[in-house]
Amino acid sequence: MYKNQKNHIGCDKQTYKLLRELCHLSKNLYNYSLYLVRRYFFENGTRLEYERVHHLVKENENYKLLPSQVAQQTVQAVDEAFKSFVGLLEAKKGGKFVNPVFA
């Protein structure tokens, strides 16, 4: 499943630039949060909880420039994606994982 979407929005240049900048900041925040979570997981073997990640990224420039609800939801998206990743790893270790491509 692909988690992207392409929309064509009819707007003026100023609004387009603002939306583009907000999307760029959100992408940077997502990547920074994912970096922290991945690094913690591979160093410690456990998942870094959302609450701890949130406190770590609050001082990040991208977090501060985004509206607070957008920033929080971006960090929550990383948490949900990594929960899924860890769940798949556990299922694979338990022998319950079936690759849908080869099933």
Half-sphere exposure of 16 (CA within 13 A, CB side): 7
Can you list the residues of the chain whose pLDDT is less than 70?
A: 1-2, 97-103
At 88 the pLDDT is 86
Half-sphere exposure of 8 (CA within 13 A, CB side): 0
Half-sphere exposure of 77 (CA within 13 A, CB side): 13
Cα separation, 35 vs 29, in Å, equals 10
Cα separation, 81 vs 50, in Å, equals 11
At 98 the pLDDT is 64
Residue 56 identity: L
At 101 the pLDDT is 58
At 89 the pLDDT is 86
Cα separation, 81 vs 16, in Å, equals 28
30, 78 Cβ separation under 8 angstroms: yes
pTM: 0.82
